[in-house]
Amino acid sequence: MPDSGIPTSPTLSPRQIGLILFALAMGGFAIGTSEFVVMGLMPDIARGLAVTEPQVGHVISAYALGVVVGAPLLAILGARLRRRSLLLALMAFYALGNVASALAPNYPTMLLFRFIAGLPHGAYFGVAALVAAAISPPEQRGVAVSRPLLGLAIALLIGNPFATWLGQALDWRYAFGLVTAIAVLTVVLVARLLPPDPAEPRQDPIRELRDFNRAPVWLTLGIGAIGFAGMFCVFGYLAPTLIHVTGVPESWTPFALIAFGIGGILGNLAGGWLFDRLQFRAAAAVLLWSTLVLLLFPIASQSMWTILPAVIAVGTMGALAPVLQAHLMDVAADAQTLAAASNHSAFNAANALGPWLGGMAITAGYGWTSTGYIGAATAVAGLLIYLWARRDLRRTAPLESPAC
């Protein structure tokens, strides 16, 4: 396996490592809660800002755009900072973006503040993954990288439903206040638990840009941007599929979201485990699994007895995130921070691509369940990019271990 270029931190006890990973996951929990809570509070935010629900949908898009723009930008701007300092700055920035969202006086400022809140999202996950890998034993790198992302998956299961309930019971602004509090807690925990690493080399932004602009990095990001789109294609139209195809009442939607959250946690854990055993080949395994799950989804959506297990299975597709995050560490050379952060830009591109393709199929008259077939096609496309990436790795590094 090629050298990832990740410096190792001073020796830490298993308890210290566990606490640091918990602190990093807490930041992921804050980000996951903030990212998805607008979906649950859409009617409340629409009433509070005196706009329509489709206009609130643009608030979600503004956040996603912030992620895409902010991930590489902040990674470059923060390249010369120690990773501990950069983590603290990014999560403090995230807290400010969410307190601004809670205080937004009108719709235009809400759009602006959600864009700002999205800026540190990708860079935080990227740097957190690098720190998690650096403090963990090499043979557990995949599992370690998955831990910050585990916070995001748990947010789908617990954080988002609780924040939605809080916003409905009190006011939608309290949901962003809750996220602010969690982000501040993350800053405190990281500051107290993560020791400075004096041996960590300073990064050169020019070198990061040079090493980032290489085929192995772009192909890995392409796998995420295309191969991951199928999950969002199905998830984006899950509520109307439940109502119009499965024939269950709207009150089933929260249970489906919980099922998706359960699948996300299982996928996150499986992704790290798979990478530690299969290395880059784990991406192929996840994409094949994703293709099967998405092809079966239209059939499973016909019955109330099979739809929830199918939604759990769709959630497990999230296993691709830690696999690609860990692989980027192997191929990014001196572009570690930029590549790790850009991984989340790729996933947000998938978040935009999947629903767009699904919407085109639905509008063309192919029905709500066509999202499964469209999603399967994107998973196959991701698998083709994976094969291209494997061929490129063999060509550029003929002596490389097959596991990589």
Which sign does the torsion angle of CA 61, 165, 33, 235 carry? Answer: negative
What sign results for the dihedral spanned by CA atoms 140, 315, 336, 73?
Answer: negative
> Distance (Å, rounded) from C-alpha 18 to C-alpha 10?
15
Assigned CATH topology for domain 1-199 = Growth Hormone; Chain: A; (1.20.1250)
* Cα 253 from chain centre: 22
Residue 7's pLDDT is 47
For residue 373, what pLDDT is reported? 94
Q: What is the pTM assigned to this prediction?
A: 0.78
Q: What is the per-residue pLDDT for 98?
A: 96
Segments of the chain scoring below 50 in pLDDT = 1-9, 398-404
- The CB density around residue 351, as the number of other CB atoms within 10 Å, is 24
Sign of CA dihedral 141, 353, 72, 155: negative
Q: Would 1-199 and 204-404 be classified into the same CATH topology?
A: yes
Q: What is the pLDDT at residue 288?
A: 96
Is the separation of the CB atoms in 134 and 6 below 8 Å?
yes
Burial class, 169, CB count within 10 angstroms (exposed 0-12 / middle 13-18 / buried 19+):
exposed
pLDDT at 197: 73
DSSP3 helix / strand / coil % (the chain, rounded to 5): 85, 0, 15
CA distance 356 to 66: 18
Rounded to whole angstroms, how far apart are CA atoms 150 and 376?
Answer: 25
CA gap 255, 301 in Å, rounded: 14
User: Structurally, what CATH architecture does the domain formed by 204-404 represent?
Assistant: Up-down Bundle (1.20)
pLDDT digits (tens, 9 = 90+) for 326-360: 888 888 777 777 887 888 888 888 877 888 888 88
- Residue 96 has a pLDDT of 96
**Can you give the residue ranges of every domain in the chain?**
1-199, 204-404
